[in-house]
Amino acid sequence: MTGAAAGWTAVDLTDISKRFGGVHALREVSLRVRAGEIHALLGENGAGKSTILKILRGVQVPDSGSIAIKGESFPALSPQLAREKGIGMIFQELSLVPTLTVAQNIFLANEPLTARGLIDDRLMERRAREIFALMRVEIDPTAVVADLLTGQQQLTEIAKALSQNAEVLVLDEPTSALSPAEVDVLFGLLRRLKAEGKAIIYVSHRMDEIFMIADHATVLRDGRLIASRPIAEYTLAGLIADIMGKETRNLSDFVSESSATDEVVLQVEHLSSRQRGGDISFSLRRGEVLGIAGLLGSGRSRLARMLFGLEPVGSGMIRLKGKAVTIGSPTAATEQGIALVPEDRRRQGLVLDHSIQANIEIPILKRLGRSFFVDKKRSRTITDKTIERLAIKTASRAAPANALSGGNQQKIVIGKWLATEPDILIMDEPTAGIDIGAKGEVLRLVRALAAEGKSIVFISSELAELIAVSDRIAVMAEGRLVEMINKSDLLTGDSELRAEQKLQIIVQQGGRAA
């Protein structure tokens, strides 16, 4: 297809609705994407973006509404039918097999065969080179994917979609792990694909990218279509207002007097990662909740990993109560009074088929016994106190973690690290994937812990939660801490913007100084 043929409607989803139990994920949402267009799909977490894209990919079936691909109507799509009709998805979490070559990944499950019925590796490599030549990028088809840079892996994902004759490309946060140079290469490719008449759906939380690359933007909020208009009609403040809404969220339960004292328990000075670099400096006081804001790839989780000994520090200094320390492992961090509630509770925080008690035991085994035998009576006491304190809804401490709801699973993760009696608790996206009621319980727990004298680093992509629970908020961008904001400055002032909108603009601009 050429650019001259661009302009017709490639994707037309009309009045799509989808419910999951009593939750309306989508309410009569329409999405129309033209060939030769880069169309931004925007909204906060939970807005409905993932659901409508899963319907487009054929992973989920809509309850009502109509689907048309290149003018052909369907009641619903299957994954195979979506691929046949030219829908290609490039995931935020790469779907490549790291131990296979580039060519093998591109043609995985679609390998060309020789006359004898064997996989034709040479033909795969030749076709892969042809695709990369059309993309104007240089990647060796014989290279093992694990040896590629992140940007090269992302481009390989796109080559895989193009090998299947994709006319509609969906990119979900494609630049979250890319360097600026890799972003430039990706954007150059997307502009060329657009000129060839491809329809591109682009999902990103980075507003600067949206204004650089998109022609049109569709905004969803709470499962509803808010607006769909050319990007040229938007300002940054206007786009953020559409994404976040103009109503004020109720923060009254959390707007309280700070529990922070003058005692500095943690001082970080020009901290950088050995692999990724950066420059992070801040102090944390006793009884303080320090929020960490930033876009995907800004280095928020990297900071948590360095403080907990999961990622090696390249340079800089960590001081605990004024004393310089080296934290080379999670064990060392725990011994220094630091605990981490990780971002992915199911893979990093819990042994799902083990009991609540067994999960809570894991980080305190040394305290429960000096031999191979664990003091089960003491373990039961600690577990029961944790269940009571955190109001974990369970019939028994012996219940497996995977039998509980997401919110109660998260409470187990928090509880098991509180059992280590830390002075500093780092929480990375602690409310991700749990319902609104459980979120409120976690936020109230954080404030209660601060009132008890715990110092908390609270990392979240939910700006309303950061404002609700934090005393100060640090903004990160490209591995650097670029702004430190007092919550009171966001909640007061003459601006008509809400606190979340003010913070969102600062995050998008990479700090006021950017």
DSSP-assigned beta bridge partners for residue 264 = 285
| pLDDT (0 to 100) of residue 5 | 44
| pLDDT (0 to 100) of residue 370 | 64
**Per-domain boundaries in the chain:** 3-244, 247-337+423-514, 345-421
| pLDDT (0 to 100) of residue 494 | 60
List the one residue out of 417, 507, 514, 414 whose CA is nearest residue 460: 507
pLDDT digits (tens, 9 = 90+) for 189-209: 899 999 999 999 999 888 888
The domain defined by 247-337+423-514 folds into: Rossmann fold (3.40.50)
Distance between CA 401 and CA 355 in Å, rounded? 6
Distance between CA 258 and CA 256 in Å, rounded? 6
Residue by residue, DSSP assigns 429-457 as STTTT--HHHHHHHHHHHHHHHHTT-EEE
Residues in the chain: 514
Instruction: Say which DSSP state 346 is in.
Output: I
CATH 1.20.1630.10 fits 3-244, yes or no: no
Q: Angle at which helices 499-508 and 236-244 pack, to 10 degrees?
A: 130
| pLDDT (0 to 100) of residue 247 | 53
**279 three-state secondary structure:** strand
pTM score = 0.70
| pLDDT (0 to 100) of residue 383 | 93
What is the edge-to-edge ordering of all strands in the sheet holding 224-230? 87-90, 168-172, 199-203, 37-42, 216-221, 224-230
Tokens of 435: 């319902």
Phi, psi of 159 (to 5 degrees): -60, -40
Residue by residue, DSSP assigns 213-244 as H-SEEEEEETTEEEEEEEGGG--HHHHHHHHH
| pLDDT (0 to 100) of residue 372 | 65
Tokens of 203: 């999902």
Q: What angle do CA 179, 317, 476 make, to 5 degrees?
A: 35
Q: Using an 8 Å Cβ cutoff, are 360 and 416 in contact?
A: yes
Distance between CA 65 and CA 24 in Å, rounded? 14
DSSP-assigned beta bridge partners for residue 290 = 457, 472
Q: Where are the alpha helices (DSSP H) in 58-113?
A: 79-84, 102-106
Q: Which are the contacts of 185, defined by CB distance < 8 A and separation ≥ 6?
A: 137, 151, 155
Distance between CA 141 and CA 160 in Å, rounded? 12
pLDDT, block means (10 residues), the chain with 514 residues? 60 95 90 97 86 93 96 93 91 79 92 91 95 89 91 87 89 78 85 93 89 96 95 91 68 66 96 92 97 90 95 95 95 95 85 92 82 81 91 90 85 92 94 73 90 96 88 94 91 72 87 50
**Residue 182 Cα distances to 141, 157, 188, 479, angstroms:** 19, 14, 10, 16
| pLDDT (0 to 100) of residue 178 | 73
Q: Where are the alpha helices (DSSP H) in 253-375?
A: 300-307, 330-335, 356-361, 365-368
Q: Which are the contacts of 137, defined by CB distance < 8 A and separation ≥ 6?
A: 155, 185, 189
Tokens of 146: 């694990």
Q: What angle do CA 248, 254, 255 make, to 5 degrees?
A: 75
| pLDDT (0 to 100) of residue 4 | 39
- 3-244 with 247-337+423-514: one CATH topology? yes
